[in-house]
Homo-oligomer: A and B are copies of this chain.
Amino acid sequence: MTKIKIKRAIVSVYDKSYLNILADYFVENNIEVLSTGGTSKFLKSLNNQIKIVDISEFTKSDEILDGRVKTLHPMIHSGILAQKNNPSHLTQIKKIKVPPIDLVVVNLYPFESVFQKKGVSEEECIENIDIGGPTMIRAAAKNFQNVTVLTDPKNYLEFVSEVMINNNAISSESRKKFAKLAFENTSYYEGLISNWFNKNNGEVCENKTSLPIEKISKLRYGENPHQKGTLFKFGKNKFTKLSGKDLSFNNIFDLEIAMELAEQFSKPSCVILKHGNPCGVALDKNQDKAYLKAYKCDKVSAFGGVVAFNKGVTAKTAKEINKIFTEIVIAPEFSSESIKYLSLKKNLILIRYRAARKPTKLQIKSTRNFLLVQSKDNKIVQKKDLVIKTKKKPKYKMVDDLIFAFIVSKYVNSNAIVLANDLSTVGIGVGQTNRLDSAIHAISRMKKNFKKIKPVMASDGFFPFADIVVLCSKNNVSAIIQPGGSKNDGDVIDAADKNEIPLVFTSVRHFKH
């Protein structure tokens, strides 16, 4: 592939930014520009010396159907698709009097911003599905060995910079790169349309589709230094880094879980998290108290952790946080004084995070062979979901602790066991391959840090056997909450009755792997 000189361009753009860069380039290089209505007028207003040929004049066909059909014409597409090193192609286009086109500058109707508008009609969305534009982009990108295609105004300067120092010629590498960007654009656009058609039926698709993804940034690496990592947009929360070093792949994974858990509660909450699992969660009437309670749950694990709050961070809390090494603090707001304190530690990352009104609906994870897609576990158990299964009822205050502990268990890897007291976790059993071990770990962790408390216990899945109830009775557990649903529920309830431990079922399971 060789360098190709630019003599003739088609320009048809919805987004008219940076067009001045091209306008001057066109004039200086005496390039003939085929264009349509709005774009044509705009170009002339930028530089009235541009040699513009109206597309309908060029094709000798009028625009029809209110502009629905303008560029879908063989004279346009043979000009774009002809191979310049193919003599037969050149003879054919000469015969129909089509000059070859060297540069295609097209961007599309703004389907994405239109379908996201509040109260937008189906008709308006459909009207913004561009047909002519993607066709020209795709034809030009297919024929990148002969044609340059620009689909993003941000690339105009790069293009002009190259041709200006190369006697108005462009390299094959650049043409291929712009073709790649062009197909990135059309595939993203097409993914949006396909997903829009499916948005109301709760399914990703009937047979196949594509998920449109927009890159935010490369990450320094993935989960481990020998893995590459890249971050893409998915939800619509407002996420701003206020200070500190670059976020890693694992930082992002951790802080997202921490913040989501913090937001499950309306009272001031604090979550401390490490390696994807909370090591301390607490609620209190103010934030600094919540932080101290969460920290007390497991001071060893809290070292270097992610700390998330559901309310704005105050100076008082900031001072407490600064007493130990914390990697990330995340909250919907920070007082300016708190920022002053926290940014004293130059490695500490501060993130302001405001949740979107609508929760993210989908969750995706890949395995080696499959993509597992599910609706996100957005269920929050409430008092009305609870069914008391034992003769002994939990006391009023206990019920708050039970619900609190069960909500925390949703964010702890299965098998999860959460011990809580006074709206604070006091022992968390994480990710064990059997539930009894998880309970043993939670209790032993609690005993290390707390004396003489009577915690409640939450389990993310049902108890398969009564053994955990027996363990609870030996360790002052005051009430138990779990989904229920085991074939041994009868035994489990009997054991709870026998040991006089109130047992509550939720009928909701919160496995998280």
State the A residues within 8 Å of B (CB).
Answer: 59, 61, 64-66, 68-69, 72-74, 76-78, 81-83, 88-89, 92-93, 96, 126, 129, 131, 134-135, 138-139, 142, 145, 152, 176, 179-181, 183-188, 190-191, 193-195, 197-198, 202-216, 218-219, 222-237, 239, 249-250, 252-254, 256-257, 259-260, 273-279, 298, 300-301, 303, 305, 359-360, 362-377, 379, 413-415, 428, 430-434, 436-437, 441, 445, 508-513
In the complex, the answer to whether A374 meets B197 with C-beta atoms within 8 Å is no
Contact residues in B for A227 (Cβ distance below 8 Å): 374-377
Main SS class of interface, A: mixed
Q: A89-B65, A188-B208 are in contact. Are A363 and B366 (CB under 8 A)?
A: yes
- Copies of this chain, complex-wide, total 2
Contact residues in B for A82 (Cβ distance below 8 Å): 65
Beyond A300-B437, A360-B369, 17 extra complex contacts between A and B, CB < 8 Å: A65-B89, A68-B81, A69-B74, A73-B73, A129-B138, A184-B198, A191-B210, A204-B215, A227-B376, A249-B372, A253-B372, A275-B414, A275-B432, A301-B437, A359-B368, A428-B433, A437-B445
In the complex, the answer to whether B370 meets A231 with C-beta atoms within 8 Å is yes
The residue from B186, B193, B360, B364 contacting A183, defined by CB atoms under 8 A apart:
B193
Contact residues in B for A414 (Cβ distance below 8 Å): 275-276
The residue from B66, B92, B138, B252 contacting A367, defined by CB atoms under 8 A apart:
B252
22 A-B contacts, Cβ less than 8 Å apart? A64-B92, A72-B135, A129-B138, A180-B194, A184-B198, A184-B208, A188-B208, A190-B210, A203-B230, A205-B213, A207-B214, A216-B370, A224-B510, A227-B374, A230-B373, A231-B370, A231-B372, A256-B369, A259-B368, A275-B415, A305-B433, A368-B376
In the complex, the answer to whether B187 meets A434 with C-beta atoms within 8 Å is no
Contact residues in B for A374 (Cβ distance below 8 Å): 219, 222-223, 227-230, 249
A374–B205 Cα distance when bound, in Å, is: 25
In the complex, the answer to whether B377 meets A237 with C-beta atoms within 8 Å is no
In the complex, the answer to whether B226 meets A377 with C-beta atoms within 8 Å is yes
In the complex, the answer to whether B212 meets A369 with C-beta atoms within 8 Å is no
Give the distance to chain B from A296, nearest Cβ to Cβ, in Å.
14
In the complex, the answer to whether B224 meets A377 with C-beta atoms within 8 Å is yes
The residue from B211, B239, B509 contacting A210, defined by CB atoms under 8 A apart:
B211
Q: A131-B138, A431-B277 are in contact. Are A232 and B371 (CB under 8 A)?
A: yes
Give the distance to chain B from A416, nearest Cβ to Cβ, in Å.
10
Give the distance to chain B from A287, nearest Cβ to Cβ, in Å.
22
In the complex, the answer to whether B213 meets A369 with C-beta atoms within 8 Å is no
In the complex, the answer to whether B233 meets A513 with C-beta atoms within 8 Å is no
A105–B511 Cα distance when bound, in Å, is: 45
A72–B157 Cα distance when bound, in Å, is: 31
Q: Which residue of B lies closest to A73 (CB)?
A: B74
Nearest 7 CB-CB pairs, A to B?
A: A222-B374, A431-B431, A191-B210, A210-B210, A256-B367, A301-B433, A187-B194
Identify which of A134, A188, A233 gathers the most chain B CB atoms within 10 Å of its CB: A188
In the complex, the answer to whether A368 meets B235 with C-beta atoms within 8 Å is yes
Contact residues in B for A367 (Cβ distance below 8 Å): 234-235, 252-253, 256-257
